[in-house]
Amino acid sequence: MSTRSRTSRAPRDLPPPLPPTPSHFKAESNAGTGMNGNGSKSPVSSPPPPGNRQPPWWRLSSSERDVLLVSLLVKLLLFPAYRSTDFEVHRNWLAITHSLPLSRWYYDTTSIWTLDYPPFFAYFERVLAFFAYIVDPKIVRLDNLEYAAWSVVAFQRTTVVLSELVLATALLMWSRRSKKPDHTTAFLIAASVLLHPGLIIVDHIHFQYNGFLLGILLWSVVAAREDNLYLSAALFAALLNFKHIFIYLAPPYFVFLLRRHCFSSGRQYCALIGFLSDRLVELGALVTAVFAVAFGPFLLAGGPSAIRQILSRLFPFQRGLNHAYWAGNVWAIVSTVDRVLVKYLLKRGWPISPDAITSASRGIVGKTTFGVLPTVTPGLCFTITLSFSMIYLAKLWVDPTYKRFLDSLVLSAFTSFLWGWHVHEKAVLLFLVPLSLTAAEDEHHLRTFIVATTAGVYSLFPLLIKPNETPVKVLYSLLWAAIVFPAVRKVVYRPLPNLMSVLINYGELLYLAGFAVLHLYTEVLHGILFSTPSASSAAAQIVTSLPTHIVNGTAMLCGSPGGPACAAEPLAKVAAESTMEFLPLMLTSLYCSVGIIWAWLRLSVIYLWT
């Protein structure tokens, strides 16, 4: 037999080679290593054997069913719990979308709780209003302000639980298809997010729909991990039309989609070499179509003025730097320093502006005026936020992997929370939930996760002002942390320590222990040291129970929102009621901000130098 005949004969048991697959349609491994450090493509994992294929998503394992049932039971037990004014906000939105034509939704001022979410959320409320009318027609009456019958309580609580199934299914898909972390660890992390104390406090007690919205975000993240970039882009565009706070995550999405999908080569750093303009047009058309579906009906009903009215509701820059209860960010530290300097200079007899004395120190919504430090403007907040974001985006452009993309999302959420204008304390969920997905990545991510989660969850405690909820927020959070933190710790490799790492770890442990001291002071010692009754509760009461109008830059304090009018009170009178009523809240914001800033810095170093 000739050499030619021997070498040309292929073994009979081997199938013919498959044609090469374009790199843009290869699914990236779950570890986020779509490209190796030398620019070559990483191997794509083969599909599982027929016997090991994943079951359909609707078939739950016993463990998955148990977690879902525990989650459902916990949330059902919280139906009678305290409700914030956000409960009436959403009831009023049900009434607006049910009682008024679409062209009047963003103009109605029957209640002070006007509709100020993007169109998709308004449509969502309209769908809920259809069922609310069936349950109890009084729920959707526009003039039925402060309606709080058990029917509306049960209905609205139920809508939060059911809408959170979007989050549950996203977590299910993320954990089942995860390879790093392994499936068991991924399941633990998914369960911890579904039962996250932050979501319990904000959604199922205080009352909001963050679980539903974060579920859309996680579905988009899962699609990005699977390289289904069109679906990822469409879901994120839809999310922006549900709640515009997610616009802070838009830059990482733009860079990731552009760099990963619109360039044919993996490592073209500079010019438009390999740029695929048709893919950019396709992505742009897809996103534009989503926004057209959202805003188109309003444009047809009211013309360009209707769009301008919606935007004025979405971006009310007349609000001050700080929310009523200061979010635990950089501006909480700046505001605290200014308050201390104002107190000191007043005792020394220095002249201080009356506006500065009463501003930012009593939890009043409105213009924030500093007495000593330079006043912070929206432009400054935007500039700082954008500057840090550009640093992260440059790294993402160079290395557009899923892992880098997920970290950049977390860092963008961190940055917007720490440096943004009029940040709500509830915005911590914007980085806490995606950060959880990275907890088992390595030791640095785990430590960041522990510190940020502890500080972020504790910063939400003042939202629950009634003593009945104290065991829920404290004991539940401790139980959750006692289960989740050690379990994730077991699967994360701990590198050999050096002097610097030991000092940092001890510093973090000392900081975490400080929360016990802080809680003891705010809940017990403050009321003993100062004669004002229930001082910490009085301070928290300012946050949640004092309706406020903004009229020509002046905070107008209202009585019952259902009253015929709201009488303006001098801010100085409110400020003079107690000299220390805001201290527990200020200390909470200040202490939590230290941990959140540290977690942001630590994750930034990991992101930029690894």
Over 90: is that where the pLDDT of 538 sits?
no
Mean pLDDT of 527-536: 62
DSSP alpha helix (H) spans, 315-398: 330-347, 354-358, 378-398
Q: What confidence tens digit (pLDDT) does each residue in 597-610 have?
A: 999 999 999 999 98
Identify residue 459 by its one-letter amino acid code. Answer: S
Beta carbons of 327 and 459 less than 8 angstroms apart: yes
Q: What is the mean pLDDT of residues 416-442?
A: 94
Span 229-271, pLDDT tens digits: 999 999 999 999 999 999 999 999 999 999 998 887 655 444 4
Q: What pTM does this model have?
A: 0.83
Residue 2 domain flag: no
Q: Is 138 left (phi over 0), alpha (psi -120 to 50) or beta?
A: alpha
Domain membership flag for residue 76: no
Asked whether residue 93 carries a pLDDT value surpassing 60, the answer given is yes
User: What pLDDT is stored for residue 16 in this prediction?
Assistant: 44
Distance between CA 114 and CA 127 in Å, rounded? Answer: 18
Tens of pLDDT, residues 386-415? 999 999 999 999 999 999 999 999 999 999
Q: How many CA atoms lie within 13 A of 30 on its CB side?
A: 19
**Residue 503 resides in a domain:** yes
Task: Confirm if 325 and 589 have CB atoms less than 8 A apart.
Answer: yes
* pLDDT value, residue 359: 62
pLDDT of residue 55: 66
What pLDDT was estimated at residue 577? Answer: 43
Question: What pLDDT band is residue 367 in, cutting at 50, 70 and 90?
Answer: low
Among 74, 67, 356, 18, smallest CA distance to 190 is for: 67
Residue 349 pLDDT: 80
Q: Which of 42-51, 283-292, 392-401 has the lowest mean pLDDT?
A: 42-51
* pLDDT tier, 583 (very low <50, low <70, confident <90, very high otherwise): confident
Q: Which two tokens stand for residue 566?
A: 């709201």
Which pLDDT belongs to residue 136? 96
Can you tell me the distance from the alpha carbon of 241 to that of 291, in angstroms, rounded to the nearest whole number?
7
Mean pLDDT of 211-228: 97
579, 428 Cβ separation under 8 angstroms: no
Task: Give the chain's domain count.
Answer: 1
**Between 58 and 596, whose confidence is greater?**
596
- pLDDT tops 70 at residue 214: yes
What pLDDT shows up at residue 532?
52
pLDDT-above-90 percentage for the chain? 62
Rounded average pLDDT over 582-597:
93
Q: Is residue 57 part of a domain?
A: no
Specify if 396 maps to a domain. no
Predicted pLDDT of residue 397: 94
Q: Which tens digits make up the pLDDT trace of 453-497?
A: 999 999 999 999 888 888 889 999 999 999 999 999 999 988 888
DSSP designation for 104: G
Q: What mean pLDDT, rounded, does the chain reach?
A: 83
For the segment 102-114, the average pLDDT, to the nearest whole number, is: 94
Kindly tell me if the per-residue pLDDT of 15 is higher than 90: no
Q: Which residue has the higher pLDDT, 195 or 537?
A: 195
Pick from 404, 405, 423, 426: which is nearest to 415 by CA? 423
Domain assignment present for residue 506? The answer is yes
Check whether 553 has a pLDDT greater than 90: no
- The more confidently predicted of residues 90 and 560 is 90
Helix (H) or strand (E) run with residue 548 in it? strand 548-551
Q: Is the pLDDT of residue 353 over 90?
A: no
pLDDT digits (tens, 9 = 90+) for 154-180: 999 999 999 999 999 999 999 998 887
Q: Which domain holds residue 445?
A: 330-375+422-529+584-609
* Residue 477 covered by a domain: yes
Average pLDDT of the residues in 334-344: 88
Residue 536 lies in a domain: no
Query: Comparing 229-238, 338-347, 357-366, 558-567, which segment has the lowest mean pLDDT?
Result: 558-567
